[in-house]
Amino acid sequence: MTTLIHRLAPIALAALLTACATTPPPTAPAGPAPLPAPTPTVDTAPPTEAEATAPAPAHAMAAELLEDNLRPGEKIDLDSPDVNSDLWARLRAGLQLQDLDDDWVRKAEAWYSARPDYVERMTTRGSRYLFHILEEVEKRDMPAELALLPFIESAFVTHAVSSTKATGMWQFMPATGRDFDLKQNIFRDDRRDVLASTRAALDYLGRLNKMFGDWHLALAAYNWGPGNVQKAIARNQRLGLPTDYASLKMPDETRYYVPKLQAVKNIVLNPDRFALTLPPVANHPYFLSVKIERDIDVSLAAELAGLSLETFQQFNPQMNKPVILAAATPQVLLPYDQASAFAENLARHTGPLATWTAWVVPKTMSPAEAARRTGMAEAALRDVNHIPPKMLVKAGSTLLVPRGEHVQDDVSERLADTAALNLAPDAPPLRRVSFKAGKADTVAGIAARYKVSATQVAQWNKVGSGARFKPGQAVVVYTANTTTAKAAAPVVAKAQAVAKVTRSSKSVRVAAQPKAKGGKGGRGVVAAANP
């Protein structure tokens, strides 16, 4: 504790008094490492004698940037007995859920017991976030077991992504995340945001508990979905069976879900019983919030904090790009020491903060053209914006590009919240070809002629894939320009040849071509640009 007090001494009196930060919407894998770009250097020159004796404006400015997001307006007393207590003991005192005791629990206990190294890594990661989560759980008067749920969901890996695209420490699916105001766009994924995802997860769990009136069922719904749990309950009601968690028919993953949480709870209650060791967790915040008032490169932010890029991203995993947009991310999370250092270094910094900005593409264009317009190498543009090969960038898309020296404004809140990247295949534009079917024309035959699939021909003409067209029936096909010309040419040539012989009144028309007449069975062809 003495060490902690010494570490906090520079900020203990002035730094922790401001209001709670507003939690942004939630958190994907950690953002990509920044591409090579001119990174401003940190001003670390020693102060002059006059500066040393004058008031320290950087320190005063830093104090305005630091916040305790858990206890707004409340000073932290480092001499309080609570600070010296063990957070595990506090968590044990708040356990409330009815215990499960079955073979599923035994299986989970055996699994964890056989992997002490895994448990140590998992609990060490969790120690960074447990104080914050437990505070939020207690504010809502919820069972303390819920603070252990990220052990089950993600092992406290903030950038975890499941096979079903559930993301973050609390494993939110995209749609559920949006339901709880967790923004997901090209700049950030708030399902990975520590503060926002915790707020959303506990809000969701509270809603589920109100829905089912039982925490075990609420947890099952968090894993399986509330609709599935409701159906399982209705089924048991029809059969006259109990509707508690243990009695419902559910997938093994959900059946195993609450027993795994029970096993972690049992380990927390008595780690010695399982020959496991829990790391000590102090009963005070592990991190502070630091206000971000201007856009800033992630690499520079890590440098100002004195952290490696990897460590910085562990606390701020929601960033999808190598720049933090102040309009969308008004705060970053940093450990105590680094929060103080970051705030003071940021207040002293005089160079540019961001070397990246957002650019809205004015028209559909190739990545090569976009790179030329923005002064980037095409490979770099593709890499930082995740543009796959053989794709065009559609008009209205937002790209991350180098920030020119003349650019003074940060990215706007509207753009930071709504930015999207829309792509289209880099292929010749389609043309609409229409003609009248002959006696023997079938969906399969026309598909082979125009080198498209029978399913497409059937969809375009609202018929079955095995259908035969009636003679004279209007048929539509969409094909590439080059294919259209090749496919239409024999038809037109044949029609023109027949016209010379028969002078029939049937017409064969091709866009920008003179009319030609065809004999019995000829096809009227019209090729026009697809609107």
CA distances from 216 to 58, 133, 135, 301, 343 (A): 51, 19, 21, 42, 43
Burial label, 501 (beta-carbon count in 10 A; 0-12, 13-18, 19+): exposed
CA pair distance 117, 183, nearest whole angstrom: 35
Q: Residue 31: how many CA atoms within 13 Å on its side-chain side? A: 30
For the chain, report the end-to-end CA distance as a whole number of angstroms.
71
Beta-bridge partner residues of 30? none
Active site residues: 153
Residue 444 CB partners (closer than 8 Å, separation 6+): 454, 465, 466
| C-beta separation of 499 from 514 below 8 A | no
Helix (H) or strand (E) holding 274: none
DSSP 294-334: S-EEHHHHHHHHT--HHHHHHH-TTB-SSEE-TTT--EEEE
CA pair distance 32, 15, nearest whole angstrom: 31
